[in-house]
């Protein structure tokens, strides 16, 4: 009988330990910095270069976060006709929601991780030798988080991939036409797509 009581107590203690509140798994507020590589289109140009970014994230529900981010990209742009590459710099601020598709880990703040998806809007300012533009963009991304164990602070390493869709600028005197079967001739593809690969470190409470 005593043994049965001890087993029952142990089981109930174990069950109490397992009941981790949903809110305990992720930090309420976190901040991070990252480095990455950005490539894509700017009308007929093909910019590419490194990026540095900063991000602040607020948890609004156990599995829903709002991210505010700033991204600085510096690189060069080229096309088939240009003799030399153009220097190009892009500043991007974005606001996005992030949702973990799948999370894993036995306890909060122990080794674990998640796969996530993000969606949001961004504003980017592009400057190159002799010109510049500002435009809005749609931002979609996916990534993975690795949670590094720590007793007091949430520490995360994220590897992510983002795509930005923005209206392409008018490339000037280029004639409108169709490079494939089409019903609407244009001077260039109507939208530019940029790709950003990024690794970032985050801490939060």
Partner 1 sequence: MSRRALIAIALVAATADARADNWDATYAFGANVEAIGGEAYSGVMMQIQVWRRLTSRLSLSATAELASAKRDEIEGGVVRGLAGVDLELVRGRPMLVVPALIASVGSGTETIAWDRGTLTRPMSYLGVEYRSSLAIEPGGFLRNLSSFGFRFGVRGHVAPGVAHATVAKLCSACSMEDAPDRGLDLGFVGYMGFVFGR
Burial 179-194 (b: 16+ CB within 10 A, else e): eeeeeeeebbeeebeb
CB of 54 to partner 1, least distance (A): 26
Q: Which stretch binds partner 1 (CB under 8 A): 29-37, 124-132, 145-153, 179-187?
A: 179-187
Kindly tell me which residue out of 10, 187, 195, 201 binds partner 1, with binding defined by CB under 8 A: 187
- Rounded to whole angstroms, the Cα distance separating 98 from 114 reads 12
Q: Residue 35 or residue 138: which is nearer to partner 1 going by CB?
A: 138
CB of 123 to partner 1, least distance (A): 22
Q: Residue 110 or residue 129: which is nearer to partner 1 going by CB?
A: 110
- Rounded to whole angstroms, the Cα distance separating 165 from 100 reads 22
Q: Residue 58 or residue 63: which is nearer to partner 1 going by CB?
A: 63
Contact 25, 62 (CB under 8 A): yes
Burial class (CB in 10 A: 0-12, 13-18, 19+), 152: exposed
Q: Which residues bind partner 1 (CB under 8 A)?
A: 18-19, 25, 44, 63, 100-106, 114, 142, 174-191, 193
């Amino acid at each position: 009988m005593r043994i049965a009581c001890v087993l029952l107590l142990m089981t109930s203690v174990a069950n109490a330990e397992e009941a981790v509140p949903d809110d305990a798994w992720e930090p309420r507020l976190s901040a991070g910095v990252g480095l990455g590589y950005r490539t894509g289109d700017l009308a007929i140009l093909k910019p590419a270069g490194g990026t540095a970014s900063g991000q602040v994230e607020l948890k609004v529900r156990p599995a829903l976060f709002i991210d505010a981010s700033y991204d600085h990209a510096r690189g060069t742009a080229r096309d088939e006709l240009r003799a030399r590459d153009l220097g190009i710099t892009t500043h991007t601020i974005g606001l996005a929601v992030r949702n973990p598709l799948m999370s894993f880990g036995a306890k909060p703040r122990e080794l674990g991780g998640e796969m996530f998806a993000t969606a949001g809007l961004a504003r980017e300012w592009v400057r190159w030798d002799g010109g510049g533009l500002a435009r809005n963009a749609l931002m979609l991304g996916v990534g993975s988080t690795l949670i590094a164990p720590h007793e007091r602070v949430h520490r995360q390493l994220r590897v992510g991939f983002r795509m930005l869709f923005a209206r392409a600028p008018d490339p000037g005197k280029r004639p409108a036409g169709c490079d494939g079967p089409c019903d609407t001739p244009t001077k260039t593809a109507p939208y530019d797509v940029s790709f950003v690969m990024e690794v970032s470190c985050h801490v939060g409470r």
